[in-house]
Chains A and B, each alone.
Chain A
Amino acid sequence: MKPAPFAYKKARSLDEAIALLGENPDARLLAGGQSLMATLNMRLSAPSLLIDINGIGGLGGIAHKSGAVEIGALARHTDAERSATIAQHAPLIARAMPFIGHPAIRNRGTLGGSIAFADPAAELPACLLALDGEVDAQGPKGKRTIKAGDYFKGLYETALGPQEILTAIRLPAASADTRVGFAELARRHGDYAIVGLAASARADGKGLKDVRLAYFGVGNTPLRAAGSEAALARGDIDGAVAALDLDPHDDIQATGAVKKHLAGVLLRRVAAQLMEQRP
C-alpha cells in the first residue's frame, strides 16, 4: 500500500525538531525509517507531519570515552557493524549486529531509532538492558539521561516524553573480565526473532557474576530473567533453565509454550558463550 498523505520537514537542529514536535502533536520523527516507513506504507500510522532528523549534525558518532561507549542516535547499523570501537569496547553490540535485518536495512537503520521505537522483538533494546546502558534525551526542558531499567515502559512505549528526542545511547565499556553472549531464533536470517537473548556477565574465577539476561520476543518489552541469572552465577545451567519465569504470549510465529521452550534452548547456548570466553 501507499502511505496516507503527510507533510515533510527536514529539521536542521535538535531545537528546531523539538519545536516542530511541540507544534504538531501527531508528528513523527524520521531517522533511518526502516520500521516507520513500513508502518506508514501499511497505514498502521498516519501522522500529519514527518520531521526528518537525518540532516542534524553531530548525532552520528561512535566514541569510547570515560569508561563508556557513546553511540549517537543517527549512527547507522552498518557504522556500528564496521566500528573498531564497537568491536573492542561493546562486543555484545558487535555480536548482535549481523542478526539485525538485512544489509540494505542496516545501511539505513539507526541504533537510536531502534531504541526509540522499542520493538519488543528487536535486538538492540535487549542489548541495552543486558548491558545496563543508558539513553540521552533532549526536550523542551533540556537534557536528561534515562537508565535502561527505567526506559522500557510497555509495548512500543518508553520513558521518552512526547517532545523528547533520543540523542545518544551509552553503554559501559567492556573490561578484561566482561563476558557477553547473544543468540536468537528466526525463521529467516534477519527477520524478527521468535525468541532472542542478549547477555552480559563478569568472569569470577572459573565462574560468573553480575549475570544479566535480557530476552526479546517474549513480552511487551525486553525482559530480564532474574531467577535464571542467579542460577547461572552459581554455575547451575539446568537450574537456570528451570528458573526461567517467562510467560510469553502466542503470536504469529509460535505459541507461548514453544517460545518458552526455545528460551531454554537459547539460555544453554548463551551460557556456553559466556563460559567459553577467555580474556
Chain B
Amino acid sequence: MSMDIDITLTVNGERVTERVEARKTLVDFVRDDLGLTGSHVGCEHGVCGACTMRVDGVIVRGCLMLAAQCDGATVETIEGLSDSGEVADLQAAFEQRNALQCGYCTPGMLTAAQELLQQAQARNAVPSRDEIREHISGNYCRCTGYHAIVDAVESVAKARAGAKS
C-alpha cells in the first residue's frame, strides 16, 4: 500500500503532475509543492477558513482534503481567481472599505464571498447582510470585526446586480 501517490490535476488552468505523500493536505501541496502561498494555513482543523479554495467549482477547506484525493480535479486558488480578474471588483471593494488589516484571512474571505455572489447572481438576487454573514461564518477575521467585510461584499453584490440589469 503506497505512502506516495501520483496525481495529475489542473491548478489555476495549468496541468500539474506530482508525486505527493499520502498524508499531505491540499493546502500544503499548493503552498509547498506549487509555491502558491496565497492560500493560508491557520487552524488546520477546518475552523478558520484561511485555506478556503475551490475544487471542481465549489469552495472547500484546503486543510480537510488530501492532495491525493485531487487526482483529476480542477483546483482554483486565490492566485487563479485574482489573475483571471474574476474577483477584481471584490478586491477593490475590500481595499476601498478597509475590509482587511493584516490580510491573513483575505484570500479565504474573497473565495468564500465570491461563491455567495455567484449563487446570488444565478437567482438574480442581492444577498441580505444576514445571508452574507452566514456565508462567511466559516471564515475567521481577527482584525476587522467583520462589518467592513460585510459592507464590501454587499456593495459588490449590489454593483453586480445593477450592472446586469
Q: Which residues of A contact B (CB under 8 A)?
A: 1-9, 24, 30, 33-34, 37-38, 40-42, 48-50, 52, 54, 78, 98, 101-105, 107-108, 188-190
Contact = CB atoms under 8 A, between A and B. Distances in A.
Given A8-B2, A9-B1, A38-B45, A105 B22 contact: no
Nearest to B52: A104
B76 to A, nearest CB: 13
Contact of A188 (B5, B63, B115, B137): B137
Contacts of B25: 2-3, 37, 41
B22 A41 contact: no
A74 to B, nearest CB: 13
User: What size tier do the contact residues of chain B reach?
Assistant: 20 to 34
Contacts of B95: none
Contacts of A49: 1
Contacts of A33: 64-66, 69
Contacts of A8: 1-3, 5, 22, 66, 68
B58 interface: yes
A98 B131 CA distance: 11
A103 B138 contact: yes
Interface string B51-71: 010000011110111101100
Given A34-B61, A37-B46, 6 more contacts: A4-B23, A7-B1, A7-B3, A38-B46, A41-B25, A107-B59
A2 B45 contact: no
Interface in B1-24: 1-3, 5, 21-23
B61 A104 contact: yes
Given A4-B23, A6-B23, A107 B45 contact: no
5 contacts: A7-B22, A37-B45, A50-B66, A52-B68, A105-B138
B64 A37 contact: yes
A177 B151 CA distance: 43
B146 to A, nearest CB: 11
Given A34-B61, A102-B137, A107-B60, A5 B22 contact: yes
B135 interface: yes
Nearest to A46: B23
A189 B137 CA distance: 6
Interface centre among B28, B49, B69 (most CB of A within 10 A): B69
A37 B46 CA distance: 9
A101 B46 CA distance: 10
B46 A189 contact: no
A155 to B, nearest CB: 19
B44 A104 contact: no
Nearest to A5: B23
A62 to B, nearest CB: 17
A1 B22 CA distance: 15
A41 B59 CA distance: 20
Contacts of B44: 1-2, 41-42
B120 to A, nearest CB: 13
A33 B45 CA distance: 11
B63 A37 contact: yes
A78 B60 CA distance: 12
A72 B63 CA distance: 25
B134 to A, nearest CB: 6
B28 A101 contact: no
A3 B49 CA distance: 19
A107 B61 CA distance: 9
A37 B60 CA distance: 13
Contacts of A38: 45-46, 64
Contact of B134 (A3, A30, A37, A189): A189
For the complex of A and B, the 10 pairs showing the least CB-CB separation, nearest first, are: A102-B138, A8-B22, A7-B1, A38-B45, A37-B64, A107-B58, A3-B23, A104-B59, A189-B137, A41-B44
B3 A37 contact: no
